[in-house]
Structure 1
Amino acid sequence: MKKFKTTTNGLPDIPQELIENAKKLDIFLQNSPNNPLNKLKSIYSYLDEYNQFVRTFTKCSSGCSHCCKHDVSITQLEARFIEENYTQLSLVIPKSSSYGNKGSCPFLSNTGTCKIYSHRPLNCRTLHTIDSPKLCATNKSHKLYGAVGGRAGILKYIEMAVKSLNEIDKGTSGDIRDFFPGTPIINPIENTASKIKIFWKKIFS
């Protein structure tokens, strides 16, 4: 069974319940039938729980969207997960990944909120600022947690798990703008956010 550290480099210790649920997640990913989308859903469900802990010491809030105007790297599996939850949305398989993007993510609304928040990819779920969000709009060095600021043991494990699932699914990777160019029309098939939570409870109850 995978072992996880409880410390996060001077930040609050990871609650024991999250450690135990990470172990359950690892067992599920190792032993359940090979359905990459279902396994990705279980990872996202766990991250929803993990982020409740992260919010106790980070400063991100709804409408703060500076991070949505930089590169947003995702796997093809994550792009497929987004596509399958919205009508009139078709992903494009990129031949190469773009870098140095400065325009907004195609799913960023005019009010600075995420149109696909319940289905956002890993890097969006694991990028948090510990100090002022205003610094995210500058080139100044500041404290980040997660995708850029040095992943904790659990988040590093999850990052590798998502990459592994994408390889099993024979997917590529790229910027979210490469998979969904232009301004996609967003129409949710149904409210699946609550279903993701129910999915988690069924597996780990």
Structure 2
Amino acid sequence: MTILTKYGKGMIRSAPTIPNIPPIPRQLVEKANALYVYLNQPGDQLGKRLQAVYRYSDELCQFISKFMSCSRGCSFCCSIDVQITTLEAHYIQEQSRIRASGGTSITTGHRDPCPFVASDGSCSIYTFRPLACRIYHAAGEPINCRPGGIQLQYGHPPLFGNEIFANLIGWTQHVTIGAGGTVRDIRDFFPVATRLPAHFP
């Protein structure tokens, strides 16, 4: 797999493949299979299904993160494109009471920080951050995340690091498009972090 860097300005450069990541434990694979069954059964609303996806991805990331270099407060990756679905935008709005834009703009090539990055570099919506943020990891030395660096990335499109992550991304996009939604950058949904009024339903 070729891992791409998007840090800094200029052309995207390739970096070597990520070594020494062991196979995903059988227990996590079995949980993924059970999640797939749940996601394809009729019943719960999409919001509850999305929460199940988030819970599982967080559990898998506890395993993946042992082999990565990400740490709390590092926000260099928050200045690249972050694709989210309409379903996830509505979930962020519901949980944070921050208004999602009803526009149709589709932008790429971002170098400005995500509107949810706090002044200390932390994520102000961390608990309900989108799937793309949950599965993304830097695997090389932290200094390589700085502008102009070449960083090993895991969880990035088009392969998303592993088949489970790719399947979960595929599910969120499929159900969103099937419901008439779209996939856009988080900045298209949230140009600014504007909090909703108290009476908003």
Q: TM-score range by the shorter chain?
A: 0.7 to 0.9
Superposed, which structure 2 residues align to 1:102-121 within 5 Å? 102-121=111-130
The offset of 1:186, in angstroms, is: 8.7
Name the amino acid aligned to 2:109.
G
2-side partners of 1:71 and 1:33: how far apart? 33
TM-score normalized by the length of structure 1:
0.80
Superposed, which structure 2 residues align to 1:2-151 within 5 Å? 10-33=20-43, 35-87=45-97, 89-148=98-157, 150=159, 151=161
The offset of 1:178, in angstroms, is: 1.1
Query: Which shifted more, 31-40 or 122-131?
Result: 31-40
- Find the counterpart in structure 2 of residue 176 from structure 1: 186
2-side partners of 1:70 and 1:156: how far apart? 19
2:137 is paired with a residue whose SS is strand
2-side partners of 1:148 and 1:132: how far apart? 21
CA contact (8 A) 1:106 1:184 kept: no
CA contact (8 A) 1:59 1:131 kept: yes
Superposed, which structure 2 residues align to 1:154-173 within 5 Å? 154-173=164-183
2-side partners of 1:172 and 1:149: how far apart? 18
1-side partners of 2:19 and 2:30: how far apart? 20
**Structure 1 residues 5-55: Cα deviation after superposition (integer angstroms, max 9, x where no partner):** xxx974111011100100100010111416221111110010111111011
Q: What RMSD, in angstroms, separates the aligned Cα atoms of the two structures? A: 2.0
CA contact (8 A) 2:53 2:168 kept: yes
- Find the counterpart in structure 2 of residue 5 from structure 1: none
- Find the counterpart in structure 1 of residue 5 from structure 2: none
Name the amino acid aligned to 1:122.
L
1-side partners of 2:158 and 2:177: how far apart? 25
Query: Which shifted more, 112-121 or 158-167?
Result: 158-167
Aligned residues: 179
| Structure 1: unaligned runs, 5 residues or longer | 1-7, 188-205
CA contact (8 A) 2:88 2:130 kept: yes
**Structure 1 residues 96-140: Cα deviation after superposition (integer angstroms, max 9, x where no partner):** 211122211110000000000011111101110111122122334
Relative to 1, partners in 2 of residues 1:186 and 1:55: Cα closer, same or farther, differing over 3 Å?
farther
Query: Which shifted more, 66-75 or 19-28?
Result: 66-75
1-side partners of 2:47 and 2:107: how far apart? 25
1-side partners of 2:99 and 2:34: how far apart? 34
1:178 is paired with a residue whose SS is helix
| Structure 2: unaligned runs, 5 residues or longer | 1-17
Query: Which shifted more, 133-142 or 92-101?
Result: 133-142
2-side partners of 1:167 and 1:34: how far apart? 18
Task: Determine what percentage of the aligned residue pairs are the same residue.
Answer: 34
